[in-house]
Amino acid sequence: MEETVRKPEISKYTKFKKVDGATYRRVNEFLRKRTYITAREWALARLCTDFRTRGGAEMTFIGQHLPELVPFMQESYSPQAVNQARNSFKKKVNKAGATFFYGAMCGFFTPDELDDMLFESGEVARFLLEVEGTSLDIDEEIDIEDRITRVMRGVGEAARIMLEKRAAADLVESGERDQARSHTRLKTSNEISDLDETG
């Protein structure tokens, strides 16, 4: 009975139609050139977002109807396999975020380089949304970009202050080492002079 009720819901789902006819392998190659996620993770992350209820994503429904919902997915998945792909997606996003923030905070990139990276990343994200058939309201898109920009400016400023403090501390430490060496050399010189006078 439930299957019959939800058939229209499945037929109305129009995501990924732009890659209809593409094989899983081709979609995977397409993603690998631009991101760290696989075609499986991309599809299931999208489905878990679109078929989310108050109790969480509908793992069983998504897995059972996977080939009907996503053209390049040929087999049904168990709820456990759906959840595994979902968690894998989350872990990769977290690692990518940590890597990016480390690059931003360690001073390796200039502010202009970070701006360029954010722009390029945004372009790739928009392209993927377009390919999968997800449209964002223009105000929502601008709001997301503004929030990311504010966060990155804060990260950049924090990194600048941290690096300046570190450089100042290194300078003080270097000065103390030089002073200690000078004191040691002076003491040694005095001891040699004392020996010469004694001799």
pLDDT tens-digit map of 171-182 = 777 766 666 666
Quote the distance between the C-alpha of residue 86 and its chain's center. Answer: 15
- pLDDT, average across residues 59-69: 93
> Does the pLDDT value for residue 81 go beyond 70?
yes
Nearest to 9 by CA among 75, 64, 82: 64
Half-sphere exposure of 23 toward its Cβ, with a 13 Å CA cutoff? 3
DSSP structure string for 49-78: HHTEETTEE-HHHHHHTHHHH-TT--S---
- pLDDT, average across residues 158-171: 77
Q: Are 129 and 136 in contact (CB under 8 A)?
A: yes
Quote the distance between the C-alpha of residue 52 and its chain's center. Answer: 23
**111-132 and 39-50 helices, crossing angle to 10°:** 70
C-alpha dihedral sign at 3, 82, 86, 42: negative
Rg of the chain on CA atoms, in Å: 29
**103-156, pLDDT tens digit by residue?**
887 878 887 888 888 888 888 998 999 989 887 777 877 787 788 778 777 777
